[in-house]
Chain A
Amino acid sequence: MPVLARWIESAGIPTVIVTMMPSVAEERRAPRIVGVEFPFGHPFGMIHDRAMQRPVLELALRVLAGAAAFGTRVDLDVEWPVPLRDAYRSWQPKEASPVVKKLLEARQQEGSR
């Protein structure tokens, strides 16, 4: 998605990307980046928690409108309020995605050789 941001920015529309992987967005040369240390699937925070979601959107707007230069990154200083082990498990799909299944099968075949 950082690359999509670049293509849209190139067409003249300013962009900011709110991402759980800001270092990857930096590597992929996104123009403006807001980093959030939240589990995947939750870029704006916990469900039904507007008090948590609000500062994320505020920061995104501030960086969108106020960043002075390409590559600006600002990380949100908010910790996910759920123990890591639970949060790590709960964002993942109940069934492995097709590409993960494929990778796991390939590893099993390598291991059985």
Chain B
Amino acid sequence: MVVDSFKFLPRSFRPLYEGRGPFPGEVAPVWAPFGKRLAESRIALLTSAGIYLKRSQPSFDLAREQAHPDWGDPSWRAIPASTQPADVGVAHLHINDEDLLADPEIALPSGLLKQFADEGVVGGAVSEHASVMGYQDRSLGDWRSTTAPQLVAHLQGQGADGLILAPV
């Protein structure tokens, strides 16, 4: 089966995504070899669902996006692997958040990853996964200058051997 990338996208949105080619300056292959056995590796998750801990973290800034529609909050949140669905908030104006709130595993499967660790499929999971809000200004300037280096430092600090990114 070959996935149809535009099956669920409104037809008028398709030109915004299709045939745009590489991001400027991002053409050359980048490759970090996965050196360990999976069963000895620590895995991290990164969602773009705008997930945050509603009791202890600020939401992503949706008010500013409402005022400036071409802007999206470029910050990120650390999400403990032990987070319960009841503690999860979702800040994302481009998707219906009902399913994400009902079962955050559809975007950040930390419970399932823990189960895989218990089964020995992976060596373990990081203690804190990560979350961003995926709608960003087209230049990705803040993601490049600030968020990406912070995420890298976080992942290195967590001892992550590999990262699964899941845009929503």
Q: A residues engaging B (CB < 8 A)? A: 1-24, 27-29, 31, 35-48, 50, 53-54, 56-58, 60-61, 64-67, 69-71, 75-79, 84, 87-88, 90-95, 97-102
Contacts and interface: CB of A to CB of B under 8 A. Distances in A.
Nearest to A60: B164
B135 A97 contact: yes
B163 A27 contact: no
Interface of B: 1-9, 17-23, 26-27, 29-34, 37-38, 41, 43, 46, 48-49, 65-66, 68-70, 93-97, 99-100, 102-103, 105-107, 109, 112-113, 116, 121-122, 132, 134-135, 140, 143-144, 147-149, 151-152, 155-156, 160-168
B54 to A, nearest CB: 18
B163 A13 contact: yes
B112 A53 contact: yes
Interface secondary structure of B, over-half rule: loop
Contacts of A64: 34, 43, 162, 164
A6 B143 CA distance: 12
A18 to B, nearest CB: 5
A84 B10 CA distance: 12
14 contacts: A1-B48, A4-B46, A10-B30, A29-B22, A29-B27, A31-B32, A35-B3, A42-B106, A43-B166, A44-B109, A44-B112, A46-B106, A47-B103, A65-B34
Contacts of A42: 99, 106-107, 168
Nearest to B99: A47
Nearest to B4: A37
Contacts of A58: 116, 121
Contacts of B48: 1
Given A8-B152, A24-B5, A37-B1, 7 more contacts: A4-B46, A11-B32, A28-B26, A37-B3, A42-B107, A61-B121, A71-B29
A61 B106 contact: no
Contact of A47 (B4, B41, B66, B102): B102
Nearest to A46: B106
Nearest to B28: A29
Contacts of B134: 1
Contacts of B19: 27
A97 B94 contact: yes
Contacts of B109: 44, 53, 56-57
